[in-house]
Chain A
Amino acid sequence: KRVKEESIISEEEAAQYDRQIRLWGLDAQKRLRGSRVLLVGLRGLGAEVAKNLILAGVKGLTLLDHEQVTEESCRAQFLIPVTAQGQNRAQASLERAQYLNPMVEVKADTDRVETKPDKFFLQFEAVCLTGCSRDLMVRVDQLCAQHNIKVFCGDVFGYHGYMFSDLGQEHNYVEEKPKVVKPKTDESNDGPEAKKPKVDPNETTMIKKTASFCSLKVALEVDWTNEKAKSSLKRTPVDYFLLHVLLKFRTDKGRDPHPESFEADATLLRQIRDDVLEAMGLSSELLPHDFVSYCFSEMAPVCAVVGGVLGQEVVKALSQRDAPHKNFFFFDGMKGSGVVDYFGPK
């Protein structure tokens, strides 16, 4: 599906987007301008992604969330006014989101994403899922991949966060590389006539590349029982397994671990850890005993980090510029480490 590029950028856009056009170029900005994105979930991470995409200048952003604003979510997110309790979260975020950049069409949708028919998703160039169950993410990913819609998933659990992307089997993009200056062939001749004009050392050239992505389903169902996988375990970020545990919790309880029920949730988390790792044929010591302390609630600075990386991945994919991270990014806010790793078939 080709993105329509409007060839004229207004003076207003040129002035506002100046500092980013100087980074990723005018072509990239035009592609962004032609892209519609669906963002599911307007909690802390969702708000960060919304801000980043709206500022980047996409054509349209639809905010989809069926939940209501609670007292807690007021403090968790910077788009929702404190007076908005009882309102729908997407609705409440709309006004401040729109103010971020009047040139973007921002819409709010209050439906449950599970109830949306397949064709709903087809109007977008990219879909970004936060706070969604594993099954839902797998289903939406499968559907979108068929129609060449870029899919992104992300969540924040306390100090930890992740993002996943599926850009399809054939994602084309360009990379800007410095131009290679060819050596002179007439170095022996020093006469003024032979002098060629200098090649600007800062000149660059665009190189076309392709990347291939697997589905979320396949990425989550990696087999760890074979020898090869076991040997790669040492270099595997533990957060991948933490993600499995937290997604299982979300599926089983219909919510994320909550500080109000810390004791019970912590116990359940440890149980799930044991079950999940055992089912994978792995030791439950892979996730240390105290892992539960750091995955409650959404930490604002962690949302900022994950939302920043996720937002930039969406921008890269839509603008088809620069190598995408393949296919997971894991952030550990305790250690300050952010790792990109691939899970799926070689």
Chain B
Amino acid sequence: MVTLQLVGSLRKELADSLSTCRVLVVGAGGIGCELLKNVVLTGFKNIEVIDLDIIDVSNLNRQFLFQKKHVGKSKAQVAKESVLQFCPTANITAYHDSIMNPDYNVEFFRNFMLVMNALDNRVARNHVNRMCLAADIPLIESGTAGYLGQVTVIKKGLTECYECQPKPTQKTFPGCTIRNTPSEPIHCIVWAKYLFNQLFGEEDADQEVSPDTSCVLWDGDIKRVSTKDWARSTGYDPVKLFNKLFKDDIQYLLTMDKLWKKRKAPLPLDWLEFVILSGCVIACPQGVTGTGLKDQQVLGVGGYCQLFSRSVETLHSVLADKGDGAELVWDKDDPPAMDFVTAAANLRMYIFSMNMKSRFDIKSMAGNIIPAIATTNAVIAGLIVLEALKILSGDVEQCRTIFLNKQPNPRKKLLVPCALDPPSANCYVCASKPEVTVKLNVHKTLVLALQDKILKEKFGMVAPDVQIEDGKGTILISSEEGETEANNCKFLSDFAIRNGSRLQVDDFLQDYTLLVNVIHCENLEKDVEFEVVGDAPDKAPTPTRSQEEGKNIANGNKESSEPSTSSEGVQVNLTLMTFSLWL
């Protein structure tokens, strides 16, 4: 019989390595709090935790290391203090900082035996993925949304990295759906958020709210003053604003009769009509329940007219107080900003014959709120530590991707372990010499767009350096501030970049080099600036046999500025082959 020395449940060798190794926990929120607790109770002694966020009251239903008195303080800091309460001998270093800060370079990551992610957004996940590949440190990745969750292990050379499988990008809607023919509440909510930016925030050419004449062959007048300038010219008069957006612009849309041949036409609103009629049947609240939350009530149109007017006045006043050239940033937790979007979206829904929604529901969609509870995070964080123990024991081949379902699958499994997949041969991140091909119009693509939209947004780089492979090693973009700023507003073709050109892109922080092949294309789809060859646009990847229940990790509510398109009320049937947890 083998003599087995146990420390608690663990073999002595394992227990010893736990107390000497260093681990990094990225994130101190829902998963992070549970994870820190598990890590410390399991016997890890040297722990570093990083989180850029501060504590909010809505965190308190699950981030149990925080109390009401901690609201406003650093999550990483308070988490450390709370943990020390029940384990004073733990050696914890807390960073109130972003993991993407260049201070946390490859050398920093090399200090750790393993890294455990507890993140809620894809950008940070991509970054940590690359840092761990560069440092060759095992990474345990995880995510939760509502009742669902998953954990997986990423080890360079052995498993898929986080970016091996292309992940569908956040759903966006075509301009004319938002501006002309909304058919779902979400379209109206997106429109309302755009309107907020046009009136009070940073104006964006991609966030137009006025009727779009380019969708249909139309020879009407194309007079266009910027929405903000127009609003300023009227002194942000709520009634004038109301009549322009909800009456005049709608009447303009009605003249584009092609749009309404097969669709129900919108009904313009008139301010006077609703001021007079408020108190009458039309303005009565729909479905008021005495037992609901205040925010869950759906008011009548008259109520939203008033809310629109009040919030415009408040926001205008706040904007004016900030001085010249000031801009507001939309925030779901800022009451007038939320009121504004609620009112504007509902008025538009009413106009387009959709059932109006409560502030509560609109906040979910506009604010990308992902419902969250303690128990899901507790389960996932437990699984993370169990995977960590396998890694530390040298049993990486025992590691699995594990999915947490809401209900057991036909084989009775609530927790489903799946074998890890090997790295993808043509992954543009972890392949030995990553290469990618991008289709764009060299005459119409700005250098700045290449940097921001393609290299940073699409390919997840933080500080790219770009050299043209033109025999001269021309530097197109430098990560050093100011060095290549003059290039930003030039087109790629200005640098003799054409069909077949190759760009060498480096991100030194991520220790990542990507070769970009350029294909010149003049007929990309409408609203599309570039296309990555080999991408499956907006579709989940078809699963391989070992990917039984899909491979995509919940991204929490920081996914993008686009609103959430799915409500938790929709059942995800996990007995199907794939599901995706990003939103």
Docked complex Cα distance between A16 and B67 (Å): 11
Chain B neighbourhood of A101, CB < 8 A: 60
- Docked-complex contact B261 and A52, CB < 8 angstroms: no
Given contacts A176-B571, A308-B378, A339-B413, contact A195 B264 (CB under 8 A): yes
Determine the residue in chain B with the shortest Cβ distance to A27.
B291
- Docked-complex contact B412 and A340, CB < 8 angstroms: yes
Answer whether residue B263 sits at the interface, using C-beta atoms and an 8 A cutoff: yes
- Docked-complex contact B86 and A19, CB < 8 angstroms: no
- Docked-complex contact B381 and A297, CB < 8 angstroms: no
Answer whether residue A158 sits at the interface, using C-beta atoms and an 8 A cutoff: yes
- Docked-complex contact A158 and B9, CB < 8 angstroms: yes
Answer whether residue B369 sits at the interface, using C-beta atoms and an 8 A cutoff: yes
- Docked-complex contact B41 and A197, CB < 8 angstroms: no
Given contacts A9-B293, A16-B60, contact A299 B42 (CB under 8 A): yes
Chain B neighbourhood of A75, CB < 8 A: 41, 87
- Docked-complex contact A301 and B354, CB < 8 angstroms: no
Q: Chain B, interface size: which category?
A: 35 or more
- 8 Å CB contacts to B: which residues of A264-323? 293-294, 296-305, 307-309, 311-312, 315, 322-323
Docked complex Cα distance between A7 and B406 (Å): 29
Docked complex Cα distance between A198 and B408 (Å): 34
Answer whether residue B400 sits at the interface, using C-beta atoms and an 8 A cutoff: yes
Contact residue among B57, B86, B183 (Cβ-Cβ distance under 8 Å from A198): B183
Docked complex Cα distance between A190 and B382 (Å): 56
Answer whether residue A82 sits at the interface, using C-beta atoms and an 8 A cutoff: yes
Determine the residue in chain A with the shortest Cβ distance to B83.
A78
- Docked-complex contact B184 and A19, CB < 8 angstroms: no
Docked complex Cα distance between A30 and B355 (Å): 27
- Docked-complex contact B261 and A311, CB < 8 angstroms: no
- Docked-complex contact A7 and B41, CB < 8 angstroms: no
Answer whether residue B475 sits at the interface, using C-beta atoms and an 8 A cutoff: no
Interface flags, A162-206, vs B, CB<8A=1, else 0: 000000000000001110000000000010100111101111100
Interchain Cβ contacts within 8 Å, total number: 231
- Docked-complex contact A23 and B147, CB < 8 angstroms: yes
Contact residue among B8, B364, B404 (Cβ-Cβ distance under 8 Å from A259): B8
Q: Of residues A44, A158, A304, which shows the largest number of chain B Cβ atoms within 10 Å of its Cβ?
A: A304
Docked complex Cα distance between A76 and B87 (Å): 10
Chain B neighbourhood of A305, CB < 8 A: 378-379, 382-383, 386, 415
Docked complex Cα distance between A152 and B9 (Å): 25
A-contacting 9-mer, from B234-242, B526-534, B561-569: B561-569
Given contacts A23-B147, A56-B374, A300-B41, contact A340 B408 (CB under 8 A): yes
Contact residue among A56, A78, A299, A340 (Cβ-Cβ distance under 8 Å from B9): A299
- Docked-complex contact B85 and A96, CB < 8 angstroms: yes
Answer whether residue B4 sits at the interface, using C-beta atoms and an 8 A cutoff: yes
Given contacts A301-B42, A336-B415, contact A78 B61 (CB under 8 A): no
Docked complex Cα distance between A322 and B370 (Å): 19
- Docked-complex contact A198 and B354, CB < 8 angstroms: yes
Chain A neighbourhood of B296, CB < 8 A: 26
Given contacts A52-B375, A304-B34, contact A197 B355 (CB under 8 A): yes
- 8 Å CB contacts to A: which residues of B262-277? 262-265
- Docked-complex contact A308 and B570, CB < 8 angstroms: no
Whole-angstrom distance from the CB of A180 to the nearest CB of chain B? 12
Whole-angstrom distance from the CB of B170 to the nearest CB of chain A? 17
- Docked-complex contact A311 and B41, CB < 8 angstroms: no
- Docked-complex contact B414 and A82, CB < 8 angstroms: no
Chain B neighbourhood of A82, CB < 8 A: 86-88
Given contacts A190-B261, A307-B378, contact A22 B371 (CB under 8 A): yes
Answer whether residue A18 sits at the interface, using C-beta atoms and an 8 A cutoff: yes
Answer whether residue A34 sits at the interface, using C-beta atoms and an 8 A cutoff: no
- Docked-complex contact A300 and B147, CB < 8 angstroms: no
Chain B neighbourhood of A78, CB < 8 A: 37, 40-41, 86-87
Q: Chain A, interface size: which category?
A: 35 or more
- Docked-complex contact B571 and A177, CB < 8 angstroms: yes
Contact residue among A262, A294, A339 (Cβ-Cβ distance under 8 Å from B408): A339
Whole-angstrom distance from the CB of A163 to the nearest CB of chain B? 11
Docked complex Cα distance between A293 and B9 (Å): 8
Answer whether residue A344 sits at the interface, using C-beta atoms and an 8 A cutoff: no
Contact residue among A26, A44, A259, A311 (Cβ-Cβ distance under 8 Å from B6): A259
- 8 Å CB contacts to A: which residues of B33-89? 34, 37-38, 40-42, 57-58, 60-62, 64, 67-68, 85-88
Whole-angstrom distance from the CB of A155 to the nearest CB of chain B? 14
Chain B neighbourhood of A77, CB < 8 A: 41, 86
- Docked-complex contact A20 and B61, CB < 8 angstroms: yes
- Docked-complex contact A55 and B42, CB < 8 angstroms: no
Given contacts A15-B58, A202-B566, contact A309 B9 (CB under 8 A): no
Chain A neighbourhood of B382, CB < 8 A: 300-305, 308
Interface flags, B130-167, vs A, CB<8A=1, else 0: 00000000000000001100000000000000000000
Given contacts A7-B291, A52-B375, A201-B184, contact A23 B58 (CB under 8 A): no
- Docked-complex contact A19 and B386, CB < 8 angstroms: no
Chain B neighbourhood of A325, CB < 8 A: 408, 414
Docked complex Cα distance between A44 and B68 (Å): 25
Docked complex Cα distance between A58 and B371 (Å): 19
- Docked-complex contact B354 and A200, CB < 8 angstroms: yes
Docked complex Cα distance between A82 and B407 (Å): 38
- Docked-complex contact A304 and B264, CB < 8 angstroms: no
Q: Of residues A19, A23, A293, A329, which shows the largest number of chain B Cβ atoms within 10 Å of its Cβ?
A: A19
Answer whether residue A219 sits at the interface, using C-beta atoms and an 8 A cutoff: no
Docked complex Cα distance between A337 and B10 (Å): 19
Whole-angstrom distance from the CB of A337 to the nearest CB of chain B? 6
- Docked-complex contact A297 and B353, CB < 8 angstroms: no
Q: Of residues B291, B386, B404, which shows the largest number of chain A Cβ atoms within 10 Å of its Cβ?
A: B386
Contact residue among A7, A48, A294, A338 (Cβ-Cβ distance under 8 Å from B414): A338
- Docked-complex contact B9 and A99, CB < 8 angstroms: no
Chain A neighbourhood of B61, CB < 8 A: 16-20, 55-57
Contact residue among A23, A48, A304, A341 (Cβ-Cβ distance under 8 Å from B146): A23
Contact residue among B7, B58, B260, B293 (Cβ-Cβ distance under 8 Å from A16): B58
- Docked-complex contact A315 and B571, CB < 8 angstroms: no
Chain A neighbourhood of B10, CB < 8 A: 299
Interface flags, A79-106, vs B, CB<8A=1, else 0: 1111000000000000010011110000
Interface flags, A1-44, vs B, CB<8A=1, else 0: 00000010100001111111111101000100000000000001
- Docked-complex contact A308 and B379, CB < 8 angstroms: yes
Chain B neighbourhood of A26, CB < 8 A: 291-293, 296
Whole-angstrom distance from the CB of A127 to the nearest CB of chain B? 19
Determine the residue in chain B with the shortest Cβ distance to A289.
B1
Q: Of residues A76, A102, A237, A308, which shows the largest number of chain B Cβ atoms within 10 Å of its Cβ?
A: A308
Answer whether residue B417 sits at the interface, using C-beta atoms and an 8 A cutoff: yes
Docked complex Cα distance between A18 and B353 (Å): 29
Docked complex Cα distance between A48 and B373 (Å): 14
Can you pick out 25 interface pairs between chain A and chain B where the beta carbons lie within 8 Å of each other? A9-B293, A14-B293, A19-B372, A23-B568, A26-B291, A52-B374, A99-B67, A178-B569, A178-B570, A197-B353, A202-B570, A204-B569, A294-B9, A299-B42, A300-B38, A301-B38, A301-B384, A302-B382, A305-B379, A305-B415, A308-B377, A309-B414, A315-B375, A333-B386, A336-B400
The 8 closest A-B pairs by CB, nearest first: A338-B415, A304-B382, A23-B371, A195-B264, A300-B41, A308-B378, A308-B379, A305-B382
Which A residues contact B (CB, under 8 angstroms)? 7, 9, 14-24, 26, 30, 44, 48, 51-52, 55-57, 75-82, 96, 99-102, 158-159, 176-178, 190, 192, 195-198, 200-204, 235, 237, 259, 262, 293-294, 296-305, 307-309, 311-312, 315, 322-323, 325, 329, 331, 333-341
| Given A304-B382, A315-B375, 9 further pairs, Cβ under 8 A | A20-B371, A23-B568, A80-B86, A159-B9, A308-B378, A323-B407, A329-B414, A333-B386, A339-B415
